[in-house]
């Protein structure tokens, strides 16, 4: 009976995990910005996780990978955070147009085949406003000067002269 229970458990695990093949997560980001992909897999609390681009059939396709029990990893522009509940997040920083493509969130399985969830990433052209620092954006500076310019245009010259005379 233990062997039958073991077989039944593995069959259920296989069918539950194979459902993730049906999911396709569509993610969109802008050039230069960051994007985070959430990946959830059944019964994958302490399993190793990995994220790959393309067919995911070779080791060269794997972009970032954690071993069993490992929670965090960062390689270049990629970071992987595993909260230990079967959900993990992959962040790609400084998106490039060449990052557009098909990716796979994957979980390393010991008895059955690894499980995968497809991610379709589209990188759009960068936005007009880029962050200059954590506290100040070029867009805000630009908008400030536009506002001042429009304010000066809005006031008629007589009001400007009146304000100027009051200051003298």
- Please name which of 31, 36, 33, 27 lies closest in space to residue 122, comparing C-alpha atoms: 27
pTM for the predicted model, two decimal places: 0.62
**Position with higher pLDDT, 152 vs 68:** 68
Which domains are seen in the chain, by residue range? 2-124 (2.60.40.10), 138-167 (no CATH)
Distance, in Å, from the CA atom of 142 to the CA atom of 139, rounded to the nearest integer, reads 5
Q: What's the whole-number mean pLDDT along residues 14-21? A: 44
Please write the tens of the pLDDT for every residue from 25-59: 889 999 999 999 998 887 777 788 889 998 888 88
């Amino acid at each position: 009976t233990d062997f039958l229970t073991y077989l039944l458990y593995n069959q259920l695990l296989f069918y539950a995990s194979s459902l993730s093949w049906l999911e396709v997560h569509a993610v969109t980001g802008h050039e230069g910005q960051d994007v985070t992909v959430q990946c959830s897999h059944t019964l994958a609390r302490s399993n190793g996780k990995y994220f790959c681009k393309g067919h995911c059939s070779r080791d060269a396709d794997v972009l970032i990978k954690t071993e069993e029990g490992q929670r965090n990893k960062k390689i270049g522009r990629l970071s992987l955070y595993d909260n230990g509940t079967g959900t993990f997040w992959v962040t790609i920083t400084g998106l490039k147009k060449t990052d557009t493509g098909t990716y796979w969130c994957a979980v390393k399985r010991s008895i059955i085949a690894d499980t995968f969830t497809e991610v379709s990433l589209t990188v759009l052209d960068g936005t007009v406003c880029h962050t200059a620092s954590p506290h100040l954006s070029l867009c805000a500076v630009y908008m400030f000067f536009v506002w001042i310019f429009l304010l000066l245009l809005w006031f008629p010259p007589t009001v400007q002269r009146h304000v100027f005379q009051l200051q003298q």
